[in-house]
Amino acid sequence: MNSTAPQIGFDRFVRLDWVAAALEVRAGIASLEGLKVLLDAAGLGKEAKAKTVTKLNALILQPRSDLAGFACRGIGIFKQSPEASFAALPWGMAIAAYPFFGKVAEFTGRLTSIQGDCSSLEIHRRMSEIFGDREMTKRATQATLQTQANWGAFERVEKGKRLIRRVPIRLNNDQAVAWLVEAALRYTGRAISVPTLQSMAVIYPFVLDQPLAYLISNSPNMEIRSEGPSNQFVSLLQ
């Protein structure tokens, strides 16, 4: 085992309806008891339930301190426009909080960008190259693929051996779009060329056809800088 392999973090299957319930709890429109009932109904064992709650805390209920403000803004968008923003929020929080989740999404987005499908074995191979060829990596990759499929990113066929992209979700809420771009920036940890934002592999389940430069220029959390007459980059404000 490679002792220097990066930390995995995301290693559980997390159903979208569990995340939806957690969002409603965080938004103050549902009770925590309702989420507990939902998890109990799933038949999770004590340990599995505890680990699932840990993931829901990190994603929605109690994000770590450096993501607290980002998460609060996402919840605020959800309160104002639940239907228009819901799809983006779990994905954005997952790629911001868990680089492992983001890397699986990035590889899947790249490999399916040409023909619309790819082999799950190829995702496993690439993740093992980064996070170590170990059983933990394999299990976590499988759990992440299962989660992303459940969240509507792709369909698993041939007993999970092939992944077929679903029709991407068109986001119509400008605030949700800007927030998702910010999530991608938090995942990459670096400035991104504005023209490439719409084709970023890590957010491939979404269509961003708004004037992104305009949305970003109006965001208090991001900035655009120019490098040359035609090169614009977006980065997080420190």
Residue by residue, DSSP assigns 139-151 as HHHHHHHHHHHHT
Which of the listed residues 170, 186, 219 is the one where a domain comes to its end? 170
Same domain, 64 and 125: yes
DSSP 8-state code for residue 34 = H
Q: What is the DSSP letter of 216?
A: H
At 5 the pLDDT is 52
Domain count, the chain: 2
Same domain assignment for residues 153 and 62: yes
CB 152 within 8 A of CB 167: no
Of the three residues 121, 145, 170, the one that is the final residue of a domain is 170
Bridge partners, 225 (sequence order): 233
Do 155 and 62 belong to one domain? yes
Residues 112 and 5 in one domain: yes
Boundary of a domain, candidates 139, 170, 201: 170
Give the three-class secondary structure for 235: strand
| CATH for 180 | 1.10.10
138 and 220 fall within a common domain: no
What's the CA gap between 212 and 227, in Å, rounded? 17
Q: 189 and 91 in one domain?
A: no
Domain hosting 149: range is 1-170
Same domain, 165 and 182: no
* Domain shared by 99 and 207, yes or no: no
- 27-61: per-residue pLDDT in tens? 999 999 999 999 999 999 999 999 999 999 999 99
pLDDT confidence of residue 3: 41
pLDDT, position 6: 66
Asked if 84 and 129 sit in the same domain, the reply is yes
State the pLDDT at residue 168.
Answer: 94
69 lies in the same domain as 176: no
Quick one: tokens of 204? 């491939």
pLDDT score, position 229: 67
Q: What angle do CA 21, 27, 29 make, to 5 degrees?
A: 70
Average pLDDT per block of 10 residues along the chain, 238 residues long = 64 96 95 94 92 96 96 96 91 97 97 95 97 94 97 95 96 94 96 93 94 93 85 90
Judgement on whether residues 124 and 192 belong to the same structural domain of the protein? no
Q: Which residues contact 119 (CB under 8 A, 6 or more apart)?
A: 111, 161, 162, 163
For residue 107, the tally of other CB atoms under 10 A from its CB is: 21
Same domain membership, residue 184 and residue 128: no
